[in-house]
Structure 1
């Protein structure tokens, strides 16, 4: 053990504060540092089995007692760990008992990162925030635990020692080498220290290889070369120095990612696996414990890779047998993914099929369907096709990523294959799950309900309470997604909330990530940016904790966060989340999600003044899904409406009219609003009012859509010469936007809305702060200097005549009467005027004409 006084002093100074956290990756020396720095402490090495409040606090109370910190008359002596602390009474009792101790005690919680349950973390957080003066809490962890560390930092109650602190200095590296009997020249020590960057385990590996060498200079010189070559050379030197029996043990046990005593025995045929692993962990730097009670171990990544390479060469004839042993060991313990992986490597195809069939549902809800699908590509197709249950499982896996073509093929194989009576229940259950998956992709809620009922009914005949709960959580998640795509937001919210609760209760993180992700999109669709997007953040954070940062299920959460940021006028955040959503969705074939991303992407291009790019996004989306069946129920109208909006923005009014004519049977609000925009752009605000007034009275409309409708209606009233109605509609829109922070609908209407907002302040508004915020946003979006581009194509005499009427409140019909022409003639000339002035609507044409001095300035 190397003395490191700078760190010992840090720990000893730290325990003058209530809480000390030593946080760094494995192999950094966290536990050793605390053990050598604290002379007397109650020590708890946390294990996975203690991730339950009762067991955690039982271990803590026992450690305090063994450390001699509990006087006979102390309240701690009679305190028992809670079996079920539903009333949250235990923690206050514990804190009060600790506060009554006659002298301070140091409590060490080693490997606190193994705690993941909400109960343990909540109670530990309580202790952190209410630590009495008599307790000094020291925690070690491989990563920051989800505890209120930020609060402790602000209060000055936390001492932190991180990986950079634990890195060996040059002098400490020298001391470590000397502890291994190595005396090297300063430049060689410097070279080793630079190469390892002070990582303790790396220096220890170097020291092991240097022992007994006569040419340390040559070794160090080669050690400073290419990373991979150096690592392989170093580890080979360590391996070659092991006794033959231990060397054989290392090679055989390297075939699995993690190793424990009984698994080692299965692979080696010996009975001393646990003792050998414990010895290796104590004496070598390349075997690391991965759980609190040191039952499971792993090899250093580089060393493990080297061992597997050697094993493939030296044990080639035995590899299939060894993988088969591993597969059976895992299968007996229901570790299905590992069993399948090794069964495939062993060529044990029957075992692989049986493992998947027996554990399919658990694999599915734990997020392993994609891994199973990938592994089964190595099994001959004819073997898969003759198993009905497996074919049904593969259909579910395909549907999970939206691959309906493969799913239909697998379901056809399932229906044609034989299924023994003993496995009929599992077959029917898996087929019901596949049916639910198809209904989800098609947005067919009624079909989804039927499939869900069939799934739960079939499962009820043989599943236990735990399995029932897991199935219900999955069913609620899939029904919620289906309802979301069917635009039944109320039912979607109900189902998804149930899914999240069930997934958390049964520790189904994969289902929870998916349900939270869709719930985030539900929230922003229903409430706009008023929602705090907690569900989206929870989905992403949970996925990150599980190492699932790029799984497709996070795509919807990122899409929701992008939409939220867009509504809230944070374009940079919106673009970042949209890109992440697109990256995650690339692993899916989910038409609905592609639609959400493309629709928002197109709208953001329009907001950025790039309508042509937005139209191209919609073109690409339609081309991608042209051969994937008919459009979704809402898709055709929504895409046409967005395309028309972009065409209007681009001045292509005739194209916009044709686009909207293609969906004239669609009476959705999106299409109605687009029709109104076209009417405004064509100089016919009366028609826009006629279209929007019925929609504006629909109180059941979602808040987001209602804001957009009222804002558009206000502009229409204003341009139709109805200032009173315009003021009232705008006031209603402001009232809604005050609550849901939906800002963009105001800004996208440009200068006419800016003027209307200024008038609203003069007329008197109950929302002056919001109006001021919006006017500031208009100012931020305006160019610093204004350049008026010249008119490249002059207006005709008739166009100039019509232009003079545009500042008035006359409708197109009234202008036509004044000029003794038809209304259609006026509309035709207006389209030409807008094209030449490079504007999209009547008010913008007036402003542009005034800038060009084609009309007199406002009086």
Structure 2
């Protein structure tokens, strides 16, 4: 979110000045003694330079970094500010610093930065781990430098740094400067030989360094005793010696000054600073005081604060006079004061001109606001004591943050304000409700919305309608549709009266309600109608959701080509506008992954589902989470990663329980039953089925979906227990109901399950008719995985249908080509037929293994199937051959010429 650039003004590059080490100034000496020590310790994991203000910490760090940089290392610098006391801001700025040295990783780092905006609490560890991978892949050593670490007291930020240190690749080291010893596991690093610690005692100038600094560098005419006295009187304090050099430069009686300050003043630094400032021209002193309110300065900002037109010239003169002003870039456009000097200037400003402090902060706030830098503008407004002004600024930008998916940034700014600052501001409360809702913080979203309704001015229909849309959004995230349609109706009836964002989200909610009420065509038409409103929103979040919902509606009717177009568009839009790993991109990836799975593109599906689940699949409506947990677990199980699949299902069940999502709980349970039955654990599957919820706690299509999952799962268990008739009855009812409602995908899936039950009940003709009736749409839309998921019993039916198609004896309707049917199996079906025996290729393959004495376990391993699957095939083989065991089966097969 960036405001238009003000005419004639220098707009700063947001926080880029934090990523540049202060440039060299001419009045510093090379700290050879300390640099030798750092060189001797070699490539250390952590260098900590800590001492009070004015001891030359940053100067030493910069000198060391210039050395390692000249040796080929990549140096990333982050100058810390107070706002880095939040993980969101700290990680964002850390990524910005790394971006300066890893330009080839720009896209990945941008994706991580966008990811942080979704929910820093959930993504911190992932972001850090991915960042370490990128740093480890660098072709050179990398040094991360954090200047002013003492500003950080947030525990989560400390944990982030500890994570970097604990898991750092071999080419990464860290340098910290701090006014106090950092609260980090330093002893642990010291024991490992990974720590170099330089404190105030080491940083003090010794006598030789004091002489070099005062006499050789600053050109002062001092005798040996004078240097020794100054060194002893300042205790080697670098800042005090620099103040001495400034004080003595134009001093009429140097000896008196040297004698005067030593030992007689409470603070040597205060005394020397006063001495330096009092010697300045009045206008220059005033410029120092007025500009001290800002952490960083450019010429235009200095002009704004001083009321002068020559702000850049003032800064350059202050730098020439060595008044502790450090350039932050090589162009010398941006500067900051040394912290020690800035602290003193601010104290003097408050002492001598208390009435000007608030005025100056307000000027700074105005300047940063015009530059589009809301965080700085808010900070200065608060420093001025103008809570109302700060709240105005947050309110002004709040919805732009939401529409650009920067919800965490908005809530971070809100945390800077008093907790009651927004209570009488409906528009700000609206944005806070949106932000919390889209981050799925239901309680916080509802609290903001309830407070908003009490603060709404009477008769403000537009705000009431938008509040209804927020409430509907909260509802669908909680998988409730009973009142959502009514809540969004007014936003859709007169769409031109509302912001495009409100209409776009309202249309998405209505689409969700439509496809759960089996109004599939209306759902797809709704998104065609909504496209102009999506295109007019300032961010892509609503548009991505809309395309996903259109895709889900199309999938429900097995209009798979249309669904793929919608979902591919959603993924591309999300990645291009919000980033590869953004919240929106992960949601779209989940649904596109499901579509790829249906089309048998398992590798592509797995990549997308893994991408969706990298940070946990706990986001979006239930459709997204079901793909991220249940379908992803199915893919992992089919890959043989059974334990990992079980962990995914357990995680999904915990999410469902915590969020109160009954449909997700049912979907997770249904997939667990499938995997238990595949493993032959029928009793465990029965127990899970008994614990599945019913739809009585939900409304309409949501309730029907829950009941469908429960009933189909129970049918699977009944069939595994041998009650094929009971299972078939349940499934026949479900297929009939879904067919009547136009739920084509669900009817096809259930028909495949029914055909499998009929096959296991030895109702071979019924199984063939059931499956043949479902295959037309499956083959037309190229979704073979629907059939493949039916397992070996359905596979056997398909193999017989291939034979029927070749023989021209197709059981119902028009016969497909045999080659089309073979795509359902992924291989060509070889059949061996005699007068009385009809074995499929797979059955013949197993029979040959029996002939050479393979055990069931050996056959299962050879075919990459479970032992239970082998047993099922054996049952079919025995039935066809009229045999009672494997020995009889081999004997009969030989008589029929099926075995050599």
So what's the TM-score if we normalise by structure 2?
0.52
The answer as to 2:788 corresponding to 1:747 is yes
Whether the 8 Å CA contact 1:384–1:391 is kept in 2: the answer is: yes
The residue number in structure 2 matching 1:393 is 431
Which of 850, 856, 859 is residue 889 of structure 2 equivalent to?
Answer: 856
1:678 is matched with which residue: 717, 725, 736? 717
Deviations 1:229-272 (A, max 9, x none): 8999x999xxxxxxx99x99xx9999799x9x987864674558
* Rounded Cα–Cα distance in structure 2 between residues aligned with 1:256 and 1:481: 49
| Count of residues in Structure 1 that have an aligned counterpart in Structure 2 | 563
Q: Distance in 1 between matches of 2:332 and 2:571?
A: 31
Which of 475, 484, 491 is 2:506 aligned to? 475
Contact 1:791 1:837 in 2 (8 A): yes
Match of 2:816 in 1: 766
Aligned counterparts of 1:349 and 1:735: Cα–Cα separation in 2: 67
1:649 aligns with 2:649: no
CA distance in 2, matches of 1:308, 1:520: 52
Contact kept in structure 1, 2:636 and 2:644, CA below 8 Å: yes
Structure 1 CA distance for aligned equivalents of residues 652 and 424 of structure 2:
37
Tell me how far 1:469 sits from its aligned partner: 3.7
Going from structure 1 to structure 2, the CA distance change for 1:651 and 1:546 (only over 3 Å counts) comes to: same
Instruction: Report what 2:586 is aligned to.
Output: 555
With over 3 angstroms needed to count, the CA separation of the structure-2 counterparts of 1:314 and 1:428, relative to structure 1, is farther
Alpha-carbon displacement from aligned partner over 1:691-737 (angstroms, at most 9, x marks no partner)? 33344442544333233223233333444444433333332333111
1:400-455 alpha-carbon deviations (Å, 9 max, x no partner): 11001222333455466x6777x967864664343233223233334223333466
> In structure 2, do the counterparts of structure 1 residues 748 and 853 end up closer, same or farther at CA, with 3 Å as the change threshold?
same
Residue 564 (structure 1) aligns with: 595
SS of residue in 2 equivalent to 1:856: helix
Conserved? CA contact 2:403–2:538, under 8 Å:
no
Q: 1:753 to 1:399 in 2, by over 3 A?
A: same
1:379 aligns with 2:417: yes
In the TM superposition, residue 840 of structure 1 has moved relative to its aligned partner by: 9.2
Relative to structure 1, the CA distance from residue 675 to residue 397 in structure 2 (aligned partners, 3 Å threshold; closer, same or farther) is: same
The SS at the match of 1:383 is coil
Alignment partner, residue 544 of structure 2: 513
Q: 1:837·1:845 contact (CA, 8 Å) conserved in 2?
A: no
Alpha-carbon contact 2:656-2:664 (below 8 Å) kept: no
Residue from 602, 610, 628 that aligns with 2:633: 602
The answer to whether residue 51 in structure 2 is matched with residue 223 in structure 1 is: no
How far has the Cα of 1:492 moved from its partner? 3.8
- Larger RCO, structures 1/2 (Cα 8 Å, 6+ apart): 2
The CA distance in 2 between the partners of 1:574 and 1:483, in whole Å, is 27
- Alignment map for 1:473-552 (pairs within 5 Å): 473-481=504-512, 483=514, 489-527=520-558, 529-531=560-562, 533-552=564-583
Equivalence for 1:451 = 487
Preserved contact between residue 554 and residue 584 of structure 1 (Cα < 8 Å): no
Matched position secondary structure for 1:445: coil
Please tell me the root mean square deviation across aligned C-alpha atoms, in Å. Answer: 5.3
Kindly indicate whether residue 744 of structure 2 is the aligned counterpart of residue 703 of structure 1.
Answer: yes
Q: Which position in structure 1 is the counterpart of 2:53?
A: none
**1:390/1:485 CA distance change after superposition, 3 Å:** farther
Distance in 2, matches of 1:330 and 1:678, equals: 65
1:138-193 C-alpha deviation (Å, 9 max, x unpaired): xxxxxxxxxxxxxxxxxxxxxxxxxxxxxxxxxxxxxxxxxxxxxxxxxxxxxxxx
1:441 matched to 2:477: yes
Query: Which range moved further: 695-704 or 310-319?
Result: 310-319
Q: CA deviation at 1:763?
A: 1.3
Residue 771 (structure 2) pairs with residue 738 (structure 1): no
Residue aligning to 2:166:
none
Partners of 2:379 and 2:304 in 1: CA distance: 16
String of CA shifts for 1:11-42, please: whole Å, max 9, x gaps: xxxxxxxxxxxxxxxxxxxxxxxxxxxxxxxx
* Shift in CA distance, 508/679, structure 1 to aligned 2, threshold 3 Å: same
Aligned equivalent of 1:432: 468
Label 1:437 to 1:845 Cα distance change in 2 as closer, same or farther (>3 A).
Answer: same
- Match of residue 716 from structure 1: 757
Normalising by structure 1, we get a TM-score of: 0.54
Larger radius of gyration: 2
Query: Unaligned stretches of 5+ in structure 2?
Result: 6-64, 80-99, 102-146, 148-283, 315-326, 350-356, 696-703, 806-814, 831-840, 858-865, 894-900
Matched with 2:668 is: 639
Name which of structure 1's ranges 320-329 and 363-372 shifts more when overlaid on structure 2: 320-329
Structure 2 counterparts to residues 412-431 of structure 1, below 5 A: 412-414=450-452, 428=464, 431=467
Q: Is the 8 A contact 1:754 1:775 kept in 2?
A: yes
Q: How far apart in 2 are the matches of 1:512 and 1:273?
A: 45
Superposed counterparts of 1:781-792, under 5 Å = 790=855
